[in-house]
Amino acid sequence: MQVPGVLEAPYGHACVAFLYVVGFSELLAWDYDVASAVLEQLITLIKCSLVEYQGYLMA
């Protein structure tokens, strides 16, 4: 069903997940470059896992 004023989007089953990485703020303060690399690897891993379930990342 299309609702006026609302963008069309896929619908069906959905799962919303939030991730909190313990110690990440300390790592970020200690070494920004290392923290950025770790975050990039984590995002890549999450995206690869989502593909298996036909999911996608919304930021």
Using CA atoms, how far apart are residues 25 and 33, in angstroms rounded to an integer? Answer: 13
CB 47 within 8 A of CB 57: yes
pTM higher than 0.75: no
Residue 33: what pLDDT? 97
The mean pLDDT of 36-40, rounded to a whole number, is 95
DSSP state of 53: T
Using CA atoms, how far apart are residues 57 and 43, in angstroms rounded to an integer? Answer: 9
Please state the domain extents for the chain.
19-59
**pLDDT category of residue 40 using cuts at 50, 70 and 90:** very high
Dump pLDDT digits (tens) for 5-37. 666 666 677 778 888 999 999 999 999 999 999
